[in-house]
Amino acid sequence: MTFRERVLTWDIIGKTRMWFTASSIIIAIGIVAMVVNTFSFGSPLKLGIDFIGGTVVNASFERAPDEAVVRDILSANGYSNVTVQRAGEKGITMKVEATEIDPAVSGKIINDIVAKYGAVDMGTKEITSIAPVIGRDLLRRSSLALGLALLFTLLYITVRFKFSFGLATILGMVHDILVALGILALFRVPLNAPFVGAFLAIVTYSVQDGVVVMDRIREKLRYRGAKEPFDKLANAAVTETWMRSFNTSFTTFLAVLVLFVMGGAPIRDFSTTLLVGIISGTYSSIYISTPLLVLWVQGREKAAALQKA
């Protein structure tokens, strides 16, 4: 028996309690981490300077600076919470979690970098402050964008399928977002503007995987026998699409994994979020959204049967 044939024999829906328990534990750990962070640091997530404000320093030198060395220079001058990334061939961008930097300190930082990588190009030297009010506005807009994405997804799936299908898919997406936020809270990953794109990518990926499963369930409903239990029908739909979901997710996972390994520190947190989202999105569409749909439909069918009785 091939692996594909073995998958068709799995009883995924029959182990719903196990899947829900595993997800509940993971989400609970994330929520505990958020609560601990709130009491310890004043915020459930570690917000980066894009949201809480800070200072961005851009400059180019005779030779391309090494990010790790620049990070050490900033730390030696009292700024440990920083993001450093290359900008162009010989430039560097430094994001510091401080709304103001003493000119004497910023000058010393530049001089320390100059001592290692040559004279600074004064035409590229730029120090920009990001006010906290701008960060709060960005956070509000980001939350609105994510909320609208969930709403439009619910409307789309409701129109294409049924409301129950859309609700199950949305709950699966909420599961993915909670898992991702929990991981970010647990490891205190700085949350900056690019993470909005990461979360929208997670939502999109979760939806496209869930739509495949829901579409197969809808096809099977057309030929459903009068006495065929819905949980058996849904389980057949899930097992038939399992290999397709795995293959699609695995290839995407490999691409993001390369980004994680080779992309360097500046985008490692971003790619980590995508990796978590891909795994969680694939898991939720099969092991969370579909079992939720089964519980919904079975509950409605039992209620209808009691009314007839």
**What would the pLDDT profile of 201-245 be if each residue is shown by its tens digit?**
777 777 777 888 888 888 888 887 767 888 899 999 999 999 988
Residue 109: which domain range? 54-130
Q: Distance between CA 122 and CA 132 in Å, rounded?
A: 28
Tell whether 83 and 20 lie within a shared domain.
no
Asked if 240 and 168 count as a contact pair (C-beta separation under 8 A), the reply is no
Tell whether 205 and 122 lie within a shared domain.
no
Q: Distance between CA 143 and CA 140 in Å, rounded?
A: 5
Tell whether 160 and 236 lie within a shared domain.
yes
Flag whether 66 is in a domain: yes
Tell whether 121 and 170 lie within a shared domain.
no
> 53-57, 94-98, 235-239, 305-309: which has the highest mean pLDDT?
235-239
Residue from 237, 200, 247 nearest 217 by CA: 237
Look at residue 169 in the predicted model and tell me its pLDDT.
84
Q: What is the CATH number of the domain that holds 280?
A: 1.20.1640.10
- Of 130, 162, 186, which residue constitutes the final position of a domain? 130
Flag whether 47 is in a domain: no
Q: Is the pLDDT of residue 287 over 80?
A: yes
Flag whether 164 is in a domain: yes
Look at residue 134 in the predicted model and tell me its pLDDT.
58
The total number of structural domains that make up the chain: 2
Q: Residue 274: pLDDT band by 50, 70, 90 thresholds? A: confident
Look at residue 226 in the predicted model and tell me its pLDDT.
66
Q: Distance between CA 139 and CA 53 in Å, rounded?
A: 11
Residue from 199, 213, 106 nearest 161 by CA: 213
Is pTM, for the whole model, over 0.85? no
Question: How does DSSP assign 166-210, residue by residue?
Answer: HHHHHHHHHHHHHHHHHHHHHTT--B-THHHHHHHHHHHHHHHHH
Beta bridge partners of 58: 93, 126
Q: Is the pLDDT of residue 77 over 90?
A: no
State what percent of residues in the chain have pLDDT above 70. Answer: 95
Asked if 157 and 165 count as a contact pair (C-beta separation under 8 A), the reply is yes
Q: Is the pLDDT of residue 149 over 90?
A: no
- Of 100, 130, 160, which residue constitutes the final position of a domain? 130
Neighbours of 49 (CB within 10 A): 24
Q: Distance between CA 79 and CA 112 in Å, rounded?
A: 14
Beta bridge partners of 96: 55, 82
Neighbours of 225 (CB within 10 A): 8
> 67-71, 87-91, 93-97, 203-207: which has the highest mean pLDDT?
67-71
Neighbours of 106 (CB within 10 A): 19
Angle between helices 194-222 and 289-308 (to 10 degrees): 40
Would you state the structure tokens that stand for residue 250, as one six-digit string? Answer: 């695995």
Tell whether 264 and 138 lie within a shared domain.
yes
Flag whether 191 is in a domain: yes
Tell whether 66 and 209 lie within a shared domain.
no
- Of 76, 109, 130, which residue constitutes the final position of a domain? 130
Look at residue 75 in the predicted model and tell me its pLDDT.
86
Flag whether 290 is in a domain: yes
Tell whether 105 and 225 lie within a shared domain.
no
Q: What is the CATH number of the domain that holds 105?
A: 3.30.70.3400
How high does pLDDT run on average in the chain? 83
Q: Is the pLDDT of residue 81 over 70?
A: yes
Flag whether 213 is in a domain: yes
Tell whether 295 and 210 lie within a shared domain.
yes
Residue 67 CB contacts under 8 Å (≥ 6 apart), including other chains: 84, 85, 86, 92, 264, 265, 266
Residue from 293, 299, 303, 304 nearest 16 by CA: 293
Flag whether 158 is in a domain: yes
Identify residue 49 by its one-letter amino acid code.
I
Look at residue 265 in the predicted model and tell me its pLDDT.
63
Look at residue 24 in the predicted model and tell me its pLDDT.
94
Residue 188 CB contacts under 8 Å (≥ 6 apart), including other chains: 37, 46
Q: Distance between CA 72 and CA 191 in Å, rounded?
A: 21
Q: Is the pLDDT of residue 18 over 90?
A: yes
Tell whether 229 and 108 lie within a shared domain.
no
Flag whether 49 is in a domain: no
Q: Residue 288: pLDDT band by 50, 70, 90 thresholds? A: very high
Asked if 231 and 298 count as a contact pair (C-beta separation under 8 A), the reply is yes
pLDDT tens digits along 101-137: 777 888 888 888 888 888 887 777 787 777 665 566 7
